[in-house]
Amino acid sequence: LELLADLREALRAGHILPYYQPRYSPCTRRVVAVEALARWMHPERGLILPSEFIPLSEKSGLINQIGLTILEQAVRQRCEWQRQGMDVSVSVNVSLRQLCEADFAATVQRILEADGCDPRRLELEVTETLLLEENPAVARNLEKVRLLGIRIAIDDFGTGYSNLARLNEMAVDCIKIDRSLIQGLPRNEEIVRLVIAMCNFMQVTIVAEGIETLAMAEWAHRHGCHELQGYFYSCPVEAGQMEGLLRGEPGLA
């Protein structure tokens, strides 16, 4: 397949890199974290979005290398920002395939140590499909990274078929409420309130995704979401643009 060969070449050439989207705290009125999202900077086609290359990467196993290069670059960038006095956490998406690798936790540890990055400033986002089946390799990796102090977030919560009993037993630090739930407001207000109540019971950080309007931001803040993410604040942007938002320059609500 041509796309697959191109993608391998792009990885070699360093054309797969992270964009960043802010996670805004309405209490402190600051960007407290950024999510790293993979982008393919194609020399001829320009910027290519994950929907065009992540599915194939998952199928071919290339997602392991993509996940790794995004993690490496995001950790390095976080340390660079830290040196400049911007203490922001970084969250990185992790595929189930990566979590099945026996050496995953050791690899993450090596990446953190290479840059002297505080593990507590790294969060790994995993989707709730992970909760569906018992997988000893995955469970071991999650346990190991958490022992290092790394945080675990459940991404896109509310879209899959979560095993709620398992979720409650799992050591999770953060739940990201999927944008489909947020964008269904206020019609589905009762459901989202229940999700938030469950998150509070679990004592996790609550992130509302897909915040596109002031009304959504105010609703989420009023109902106890700790962090807000979405186009209302910023779409994913390159590192240089992110710095303006981190310095608190105008533009962020």
Sites of contact with Na ion (CB under 5 A): 93, 125, 155
Residues 118 to 157 in contact with Mn ion, rule: CB under 5 A? 155-156
Can you state the angle between helices 63-83 and 2-13, rounded to 10 degrees?
A: 30
Binding segment (CB under 6 A) for ligand G, from list 79-87, 139-147, 206-214, 241-249: 206-214
111 in contact with ligand G (CB under 6 A):
no
Binding segment (CB under 6 A) for ligand G, from list 5-13, 161-169, 190-198, 207-215: 207-215
Q: Identify which of 124, 122, 108, 202 has the alpha carbon closest to the alpha carbon of residue 162.
A: 202
Contact 240, 17 (CB under 8 A): no
93 in contact with ligand G (CB under 6 A):
yes
Binding segment (CB under 6 A) for ligand G, from list 50-58, 101-109, 133-141, 200-208: 50-58
Query: DSSP assignment of 190-226, as one string?
Result: HHHHHHHHHHHHHT-EEEE----SHHHHHHHHHTT-S
Q: How far is the CB of 84 from Na ion (least distance, A)?
A: 25
158 in contact with ligand G (CB under 6 A):
no
CA distance 54 to 62: 9
Angle (CA) 146-152-158 rounded to 5° is 150
Residues 115 to 154 in contact with ligand G, rule: CB under 6 A? none
Q: Which residues pair with 25 in a beta bridge?
A: 30
227 in contact with Mn ion (CB under 5 A):
no
Which residue type sits at 73? Q
Binding segment (CB under 6 A) for ligand G, from list 4-12, 109-117, 230-238, 244-252: 230-238
Q: Which is nearer to Na ion, 90 or 196 (CB)?
A: 90
Backbone torsion region of residue 70, taken as left when φ is above 0, otherwise alpha when ψ lies between -120 and 50, otherwise beta: alpha
- Spatial neighbors of 90 by CB under 8 A, at least 6 apart, are 20, 33, 34, 35, 36, 74, 75, 77, 78, 121, 122, 123
49 in contact with ligand G (CB under 6 A):
yes
Query: Strand 151-157 and strand 122-127: pairing?
Result: parallel
47 in contact with ligand G (CB under 6 A):
no
237 in contact with ligand G (CB under 6 A):
no
Instruction: Give the x/- contact pattern for Mn ion in 153-172, rule: CB under 5 A.
Output: --xx----------------
Give the footprint of ligand G on this chain (CB under 6 A). 21, 37-38, 49-51, 54, 63, 66-67, 70, 93, 95, 155-156, 179, 209-212, 230-231, 236
